[in-house]
Structure 1
Amino acid sequence: MKRITATLALLSLAASAPAQHPLYFGADLSFANEMQDCGAQFRLGGKSVDPFALIKRKGGNLARIRIWNNPTRTHYSNLADVERSIRRAKAAGLQVLLDFHYSDDWADGDKQYPPAAWAGLDTAAQAKALHDYTRYVLDTLAAAGLTPELVQVGNEINHELFSGTRVEIDWTRNAALINAGLRAVRESAAAAHKPIRIMLHIAQPENAEPWFAAAAKAGVTDYDVIGLSYYKKWSKEPMSGLGDTIARLSKAYGKDVVLVETAYPYTVKATPGANNLLGEDSIDPAYPATPQGQAAYMKDVTRVVLKAGGRGVVYWAPDWIPSSCTKSAGGPVNWENATWFDRDHAWEALPVVDFMRERSVP
């Protein structure tokens, strides 16, 4: 009888224990549709390869996809394009992280401009618009059998949502906007009977702890994952500092922490017509800008994340290679030297792709 009682107690404890979520390894493939429609070719072993399938083949399990409200400079990153990307991801056996930028163009750690249709609204109306749009997108995806496993409520939301480049945050207003998005995700997940984990995402580790402390004080608490960006060019922290921040955030908030954006160049050699965003100012002396240096950097940053208790690493824009219609705000593509594909060898996959197999902790 005592043995039965003990067994029942253990089963009860197991049932009440939080679910163990997987490690997330993968990449943001928001450019893949556009690049391939415009003639870009990705290769592995000299043969054409689907970048979504490549993630899976190399040990990854996640594709991150961005969505803009009403993009006017491109026909991509709208809802139709997102549906196409999620279908590709799921066909490859990947989970999906849907990244709401809540803008018609880039929203990031330097700027948070509202969609044009929401710009003149007061806070209450903007919160309602954000809620209703989030709910519409997720309900539409659910109806098509494309519910993402994770959702970002905002992209690199260091600044107050819809505040442009203003540095000061009105946390009463910001909390109202963020919480409107959180509620919409929870509601859609419940209606679809599909679990969705929610991420809040801050650029550069040195900005994360003050932001999340202020968010908690303002009542922003109903999320599951902390997402961080870490780029040598824009962060004051060494790789070890990233690990320390991850460990402290995990302990303070009891959330999974994922390095959801990072990248490293495999060359800094100039290309005619391109102004590469990650140049000499992005190089850590320990990791030369070579295919081997890029691979070593990603292996080591992954090990730092895992050792600190982080739950994954996601590479940004490994698919943004030149094509017949590749454009950025400054002209031709400026990321080709930080992709997963070698411009000097017919866009052959580089050794960096193997970081997704990294599971050891130093």
Structure 2
Amino acid sequence: MKKQLLLILSLGFVILATACQSKVYVDYIDKPISFTPTIGDKRNNESIADLKVIYNDETADQIQVLPVELSDDFIIGVDMSSIIDVLDKGGVFYNANGEEQDVFEILKSYGVNYVRIRLWHNPTNSNGLGFGGGNNTTEVGIEIAKKAARVGMRIALDFHYSDFWADPSKQSMPRAWTGYTDEQVVDAIYEYTKSTLKSFEKAGVRPHMVQIGNEINNGMVYPNGNIATRGYRRLAMFLNAGIKAVKEISPSIQTVIHLAEGASEQRLTYFFDKMIENNVEFDIIGLSYYSFWHGTLAQFQQTLEALDARYTQKIAVMEYSYGYTDYSNEFSANIYSSEMESEGGYKTSMQGQASYIRDVNAAIASIESGIGSFYWEPAWLAVAGAGWASSGAIEYLNAQGDDVSSIGKASWANQALFSFSGKVLPSLNVFNLMKTSTFNDERIETLETELSVVINIRANETLPSHTLAYTSLDRRTLVPITWNRAELDAIQGAGNYTVHGTVTQGNQILQVVCTVEAYENYLVNGSFEEGGKVTADVKDFSLVNGWQVTQNINGAVKIESKNPRTSDNNGHNNLNIWASAAYDFTVYQTVTLSPGTYILVVYGRSAMNGEVNTPSVSLYVGNGSTILFEQSFVYGGSWSEWQKNELTFTITESITVQIGLKGTGAATAWAHFDDFALKSM
């Protein structure tokens, strides 16, 4: 009887303890949200007319948005990770009336309902100086979360599992974990994740969504979690440790696996297939999608549809943004510039920014599993001292081989949704307008009617089927061309031709003229398109028709689909050269040539000439170990400019030669090459 009584009492205590534990935390989002707007004393008299002048933008007073059907719980999120640093350094935010106001209140009034916060393990140096970029410790994260919770926004935490920035090119393990075995890393991830979430819970701001790693395309917590050297099973161990910690805090917290390159279908499906194969149980597929880096909106839509059909997880865009200006000040070092419009697909304007935001959200809302998006750092003002990194991070960055030339400066201010002086931009209206707009009158405003193309008749290339246009919403579109059939059929051999065509624009029929240089390319697969669109890096050149590679570091030379020279004529793919350590390489084809004069043409881009991250590359013609002809590659005036290089040479007898590129690069030196052609003169 005594034992039974003890058992009953024990069970009672367990039930009571469980009941008490379940009542310990009540989600703030389930409580009534009430706050008094905090209007400060400062005023900003920057008018719409001023915006048009300051940013040379005629769209500032005429933002239009096509409506999007969004569910009531669709995530309209923003990443606010730098906000405490911006505020501490003197940043001030103003509503549309020019009144100083809490930035979270402003964003809430424009429809924002979720805030994302990055977390770094220990972003300080040995002297206790912060690394900058928001100095995102757990304590800073809680401070941001409280500001978001106050206005009723949900919270997403982004664990980088690093002391500073983590992305596909770098995933440095926290310094405190250096030398850990895999088992120790598993324990460290679990304990760090769980203790951090307990701290947020204790502060009353337990998150609703948690990312286990940031843009982990190539792994995380290097070297242990580097996919290239350790494989997917080890990475799965680390991810599961983080997920386990999250679910033990609360099963209701949604877990995210987050990758960059959101328009790369094959790369993403390969990765997530590996996650499922290795029993990683997560809730949300998270993507970064920056069209100026990751591919066109059409490619993004195609990728979303493929992911939606293949997986049961929900899908969210965890990062996206677009530039509204090229303007800068002494405290900014903008990553985005209008040179990226041709790849980004939208004009650099407030209307272009709004159209991009609308289109990304329309794409994610169009799939059944799409749950929303997070605009990256809309409030990162360019104020003194609130840069992407501070002087305290120099030693850390140097050890990774990072460029430190823009230390102390903000890199995102021209992609923000506030002006450089902190006032709401008209483009911020897009979040509400997506739901309320009745606008339906998008028109083509500018059209390219004079085209110039180079086609390889050996590869059966022909004229483009569309011409480039921009609409009244400052977004790029392609308009079909009807070519003169007789002139098109007359292109039968190498030479120069002129072909006329027509484009229908509304009730107008516009004339298009195309200057054509037709040639026979002795190289095959010069644009790396054969075998179909590459949506994941291809490092195995046995799969790449025509090309051979030698390299001292496997994977330094690869084919990728990100940022080809042109997507309208010569396909999606290009050749990428990069490695995390010093490298050398050759990439070539073997060709038999008759006597004559030839010209080798190659397009390429890299950092500006003379910069440390520019590889030394040459066009060359060789016979065995003998270099017959060689010419150093000269890059353009900016990293985004595709520079044409030509090597002219004469062969006096029939000979079999190697033709291509060779070069060397320091660690992290990079370049892209595309549209190789070998023509006879």
Query: Aligned match of 1:26 in 77, 96, 100?
Result: 77
1:185 maps to 2:260: no
Q: For 2:197, what is the secondary structure of its paired residue?
A: helix
Question: How far off its partner does 1:51 sit?
Answer: 2.2
Give 2:158's aligned residue. Answer: 99
Give 1:110's aligned residue. Answer: 169
Give 2:424's aligned residue. Answer: 349
TM-score of the aligned structures, taking structure 1 as reference length: 0.87
Q: For 1:326, what is the secondary structure of its paired residue?
A: coil
Hey, what's the Cα distance between the residues in 1 that align with 2:114 and 2:340? 26
Q: For 2:257, what is the secondary structure of its paired residue?
A: strand
Higher strand content, 1 or 2: 2
The answer (yes or no) to whether the contact 1:259–1:312 under 8 Å persists in 2 is yes
Query: Aligned match of 2:307 in 249, 263, 274?
Result: 249
With over 3 angstroms needed to count, the CA separation of the structure-2 counterparts of 1:286 and 1:238, relative to structure 1, is: closer
Structure 1 residue runs of 4+, over 3 Å off? 164-167, 269-274, 359-362
Percent of residue pairs identical: 30
Q: Which moved more, 1:142-151 or 1:157-166?
A: 157-166
The answer (yes or no) to whether the contact 1:233–1:281 under 8 Å persists in 2 is no
Question: How far off its partner does 1:54 sit?
Answer: 2.2
Q: Does 1 or 2 have the higher relative contact order (CA < 8 Å, sep 6+)? A: 1
Give 1:306's aligned residue. Answer: 365
1:53 maps to 2:109: no
With over 3 angstroms needed to count, the CA separation of the structure-2 counterparts of 1:197 and 1:273, relative to structure 1, is: closer
Give 1:14's aligned residue. Answer: none
Alignment of 1:6-25 (within 5 A): 22-25=73-76
Hey, what's the Cα distance between the residues in 1 that align with 2:418 and 2:72? 30
- Cα offsets for 1:173-226 (capped at 9, x unmatched): 111111100101011115xxxx21111100012132221111111221x21111
Q: Name the aligned partner's letter for residue 156 of structure 2.
A: L
Q: Name the aligned partner's letter for residue 258 of structure 2.
A: H
Give 2:278's aligned residue. Answer: 218
Give 2:485's aligned residue. Answer: none
1:127 maps to 2:186: yes
Question: How far off its partner does 1:273 sit?
Answer: 5.7
Q: For 1:242, what is the secondary structure of its paired residue?
A: helix
Query: Aligned match of 2:255 in 174, 182, 198?
Result: 198
The answer (yes or no) to whether the contact 2:338–2:347 under 8 Å persists in 1 is no
Alignment of 1:70-89 (within 5 A): 70-72=122-124, 73-74=131-132, 76-89=135-148
Q: Which moved more, 1:267-276 or 1:137-146?
A: 267-276
Question: How far off its partner does 1:93 sit?
Answer: 0.6
Hey, what's the Cα distance between the residues in 1 that align with 2:354 and 2:208? 28
TM-score of the aligned structures, taking structure 2 as reference length: 0.47
Give 2:498's aligned residue. Answer: none
- Cα offsets for 1:286-339 (capped at 9, x unmatched): 521111211122112221221234211210011111223222242211211111
Give 1:15's aligned residue. Answer: none
The answer (yes or no) to whether the contact 1:267–1:289 under 8 Å persists in 2 is yes
Higher helix content, 1 or 2: 1
Question: How far off its partner does 1:85 sit?
Answer: 0.7
Q: For 2:364, what is the secondary structure of its paired residue?
A: helix
Give 2:206's aligned residue. Answer: 147
The answer (yes or no) to whether the contact 1:135–1:188 under 8 Å persists in 2 is yes
What's the Cα RMSD here? 2.2
Query: Aligned match of 1:334 in 399, 408, 411?
Result: 411
Q: Name the aligned partner's letter for residue 300 of structure 2.
A: L
The number of residues matched between the two structures is 335
The answer (yes or no) to whether the contact 1:153–1:182 under 8 Å persists in 2 is yes
Q: For 1:283, what is the secondary structure of its paired residue?
A: helix
With over 3 angstroms needed to count, the CA separation of the structure-2 counterparts of 1:230 and 1:293, relative to structure 1, is: same
Q: For 2:118, what is the secondary structure of its paired residue?
A: strand
Query: Aligned match of 1:174 in 207, 222, 235?
Result: 235
Query: Aligned match of 1:44 in 77, 87, 95?
Result: 95
Give 2:117's aligned residue. Answer: 65
Hey, what's the Cα distance between the residues in 2 that align with 1:202 and 1:21? 26
- Cα offsets for 1:150-179 (capped at 9, x unmatched): 111111111212126956151121111111
Hey, what's the Cα distance between the residues in 1 that align with 2:199 and 2:356? 39
The answer (yes or no) to whether the contact 2:156–2:207 under 8 Å persists in 1 is yes
Hey, what's the Cα distance between the residues in 1 that align with 2:241 and 2:254? 16
1:323 maps to 2:400: no
Q: For 2:375, what is the secondary structure of its paired residue?
A: strand
Q: Which moved more, 1:300-309 or 1:171-180?
A: 300-309
Query: Aligned match of 2:340 in 273, 278, 282?
Result: 282
Hey, what's the Cα distance between the residues in 2 that align with 1:21 and 1:119? 45
The answer (yes or no) to whether the contact 1:26–1:55 under 8 Å persists in 2 is no
The answer (yes or no) to whether the contact 2:216–2:258 under 8 Å persists in 1 is yes
Q: Which runs of 5+ in 1 are unaligned?
A: 1-19
The answer (yes or no) to whether the contact 1:26–1:356 under 8 Å persists in 2 is no
Q: Which runs of 5+ in 2 are unaligned?
A: 1-70, 125-130, 390-405, 441-681
Hey, what's the Cα distance between the residues in 2 that align with 1:355 and 1:217? 40
Q: For 1:254, what is the secondary structure of its paired residue?
A: coil
The answer (yes or no) to whether the contact 1:244–1:308 under 8 Å persists in 2 is no
Indicate the structure (1 or 2) with the bigger Cα radius of gyration: 2
Give 1:262's aligned residue. Answer: 320
The answer (yes or no) to whether the contact 2:323–2:336 under 8 Å persists in 1 is yes
The answer (yes or no) to whether the contact 1:240–1:304 under 8 Å persists in 2 is no
Hey, what's the Cα distance between the residues in 1 that align with 2:104 and 2:423? 15
Hey, what's the Cα distance between the residues in 1 that align with 2:435 and 2:271? 30
Hey, what's the Cα distance between the residues in 2 that align with 1:175 and 1:154? 12
Question: How far off its partner does 1:360 sit?
Answer: 8.4
- Cα offsets for 1:94-121 (capped at 9, x unmatched): 0000110101101112211110011210
The answer (yes or no) to whether the contact 2:331–2:382 under 8 Å persists in 1 is no
Give 1:293's aligned residue. Answer: 352
